[in-house]
């Protein structure tokens, strides 16, 4: 290596080469193992989804429902009451334009046959049969609605360069539980259409929580960015150095905002960074805010995008008052600028149509 007119030589011994090769092999093994685990979780999730779709194709036909009504009318009424309680607790209204989807069952025709046959065979049960038909239509429409929101969230996540499959793999353990307790019949059985709805709502919730955790709010004045992400000339020694975030100039005491929803995971000092706040957003994503003059939050506090978490300062290794802002994914620093510049528009597109329809429906 030539440096300032001097030539230096570095010798890599056999032992050093073997250690380096062993370290590289261990890193590849760890990466392969993590990818294998994620693949298994994704396969299990898809298998469960396929199983629910298969069970939907075997739901009770009109003849068996007539037999159930004839066998125990009180039990049917109790089961329908449980379902109705669940439905009223989930969502009072649906958008008017929810379309049919081949991945969701459509019980409309079979429900009409059930109503006709039950009303003819057991006239006093006709009203219950009509209530059941309305409930099933609600559940199937709500499932389509959840699937549509999931598709919009997944598209937005991919547009921002992230993998929605990882988000689903890390959150899949809670799918369907609450719905099963709310809609279980007295005999412990669960209509597969309710199970399918539980899976769809859980998927929608995981993806939309993932969206909320993507940096999307400027932590400080965008026009005052004084240093970008990447290699730059170090302001102290003049040498080339990696800058792992964005610097925002500002007067001491200017507010610093959370870039996304999350939970404050660290409040304190880090060497070189000075006073620091870190926020975890789930799915391996963390944002770091450094050189603060004052903290405005505490560890463990949930925050929303835009909340004030501190004030600009010049603590740590700093040449003047500014905010140093980092985005880290699974411990690796990534360029925050694409998130801050693209996320607001992508998320607005993903949510805008649904939000408008929800408002008009509830209004």
Final residue of a structural domain among 180, 212, 244 = 212
What is the rounded CA–CA span in Å between residue 221 and residue 194?
47
pLDDT above 80 (res 121): no
Asked whether residue 15 is assigned to any structural domain, the reply reads: no
pLDDT above 90 (res 188): no
- The highest-confidence range among 56-65, 87-96, 122-131, 135-144, by mean pLDDT, is 135-144
Q: Are residues 68 and 139 located together in one domain of the fold? A: yes
The residue range of the domain holding 193 is 25-212
What is the rounded CA–CA span in Å between residue 363 and residue 358?
8
pLDDT above 70 (res 263): yes
What is the rounded CA–CA span in Å between residue 336 and residue 325?
8
Residue 250: CB partners within 8 Å, gap ≥ 6? 220, 221, 224, 312, 321, 322, 323
Mean pLDDT (the chain) is 75
Q: Are residues 58 and 176 located together in one domain of the fold? A: yes
pLDDT, position 8:
65
Q: Are residues 241 and 107 located together in one domain of the fold? A: no
Closest CA to 232 of 224, 223, 241, 244: 241
- 12 vs 96, residue with greater confidence: 12
pLDDT above 50 (res 11): yes
CB atoms closer than 10 angstroms to residue 197: 29
Asked whether residue 356 is assigned to any structural domain, the reply reads: no
Q: What is the DSSP string of 334-351?
A: E-HHHHHHHHHHHHHHHH
Asked whether residue 203 is assigned to any structural domain, the reply reads: yes
Closest CA to 268 of 298, 246, 248: 298
Question: What digits encode the pLDDT tens for the residues 56-72?
Answer: 544 556 666 667 666 77
Q: Which residue has the tokens 């620091």?
A: 276
Final residue of a structural domain among 153, 178, 212 = 212
Asked whether residue 217 is assigned to any structural domain, the reply reads: no
pLDDT band at 212 (very low <50, low <70, confident <90, very high): confident
Q: Which residue has the tokens 């709010």?
A: 217
pLDDT, position 298:
96
Asked whether residue 131 is assigned to any structural domain, the reply reads: yes
What is the rounded CA–CA span in Å between residue 263 and residue 278?
9
Q: Are residues 256 and 176 located together in one domain of the fold? A: no
Of all residues in the chain, what percent carry a pLDDT higher than 70?
A: 59
Q: Are residues 119 and 248 located together in one domain of the fold? A: no
The domain total for the chain is: 2
Q: Which two tokens stand for residue 201?
A: 């709502």
Asked whether residue 33 is assigned to any structural domain, the reply reads: yes
Q: Are residues 63 and 208 located together in one domain of the fold? A: yes
Q: Are residues 207 and 232 located together in one domain of the fold? A: no
pLDDT above 50 (res 118): yes
Mean pLDDT confidence for 131-144: 80
pLDDT, position 9:
65
Mean pLDDT confidence for 19-26: 66
pLDDT above 80 (res 218): yes
The count of residues in the chain is 363
pLDDT, position 200:
84
Q: Are residues 151 and 296 located together in one domain of the fold? A: no
Mean pLDDT confidence for 36-46: 60
- 333 vs 224, residue with greater confidence: 333
Q: Are residues 73 and 168 located together in one domain of the fold? A: yes
pLDDT, position 360:
42
Asked whether residue 166 is assigned to any structural domain, the reply reads: yes
Q: Are residues 228 and 121 located together in one domain of the fold? A: no
pLDDT, position 116:
76
Q: Are residues 196 and 336 located together in one domain of the fold? A: no
pLDDT band at 94 (very low <50, low <70, confident <90, very high): very low
- The highest-confidence range among 94-108, 166-180, 263-277, by mean pLDDT, is 263-277
CATH number at residue 320: 2.70.70.10
CA 188 to chain centre: 31
Q: Are residues 195 and 228 located together in one domain of the fold? A: no
Question: What digits encode the pLDDT tens for the residues 331-345?
Answer: 889 888 888 888 877
- 247 vs 47, residue with greater confidence: 247
Mean pLDDT confidence for 329-358: 74
Asked whether residue 144 is assigned to any structural domain, the reply reads: yes
What are the strands, taking DSSP E only, across the chain?
Answer: 2-3, 6-7, 225-227, 230-233, 240-243, 246-249, 255-257, 262-270, 274-282, 285-290, 292-295, 302-303, 308-312, 322-329, 332-334
Question: What digits encode the pLDDT tens for the residues 289-319?
Answer: 999 999 999 999 999 999 999 999 999 988 8
- 168 vs 273, residue with greater confidence: 273
pLDDT above 90 (res 237): no
Final residue of a structural domain among 178, 212, 246 = 212
Question: What digits encode the pLDDT tens for the residues 246-256?
Answer: 999 999 999 99
């Amino acid at each position: 290596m030539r440096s300032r007119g001097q030539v230096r030589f570095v010798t890599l011994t056999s032992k050093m080469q073997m250690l380096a090769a062993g370290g590289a092999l261990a890193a590849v093994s760890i990466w392969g193992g993590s990818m294998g685990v994620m693949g298994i979780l994704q396969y299990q999730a898809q298998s469960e989804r396929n199983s629910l779709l298969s069970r939907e194709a075997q739901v009770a036909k009109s003849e068996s429902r007539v037999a159930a009504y004839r066998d125990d009318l009180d039990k049917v009424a109790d089961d329908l009451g449980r379902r109705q309680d669940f439905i009223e607790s989930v969502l009072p209204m649906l958008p008017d334009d929810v379309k049919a989807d081949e991945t969701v069952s459509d019980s409309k025709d079979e429900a009409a046959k059930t109503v006709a046959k039950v009303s003819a065979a057991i006239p006093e049960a006709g009203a219950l049969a009509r209530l059941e038909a309305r409930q099933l239509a609600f559940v199937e429409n709500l499932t389509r609605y959840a699937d549509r929101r999931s598709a919009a969230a997944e598209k937005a996540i991919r547009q921002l360069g992230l993998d929605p499959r990882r988000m689903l793999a890390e959150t899949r353990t809670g799918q369907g539980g609450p719905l099963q307790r709310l809609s279980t019949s007295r005999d412990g059985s669960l209509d597969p259409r309710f199970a399918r709805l539980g899976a769809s709502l859980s998927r929608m919730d995981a993806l939309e929580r993932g969206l909320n955790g993507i940096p999307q709010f400027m932590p400080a004045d965008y026009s005052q960015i004084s240093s970008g992400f990447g290699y730059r000339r170090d302001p102290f020694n003049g040498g080339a150095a990696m800058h792992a975030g964005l610097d925002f100039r500002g007067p001491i005491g200017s507010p610093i905002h959370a870039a996304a929803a999350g939970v404050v995971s660290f409040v304190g000092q880090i060497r070189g960074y000075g006073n620091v706040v870190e926020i975890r957003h789930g799915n391996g994503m963390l944002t770091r805010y450094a050189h603060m003059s004052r903290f405005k939050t505490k560890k463990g506090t949930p925050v929303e995008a835009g909340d004030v978490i501190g004030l600009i300062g010049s603590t740590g290794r700093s040449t003047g008052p500014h905010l140093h802002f980092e985005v880290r994914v699974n411990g690796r620093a990534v360029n925050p600028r694409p998130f801050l510049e693209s996320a607001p528009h992508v998320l607005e597109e993903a949510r805008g149509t649904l939000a408008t329809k929800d408002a008009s429906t509830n209004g």
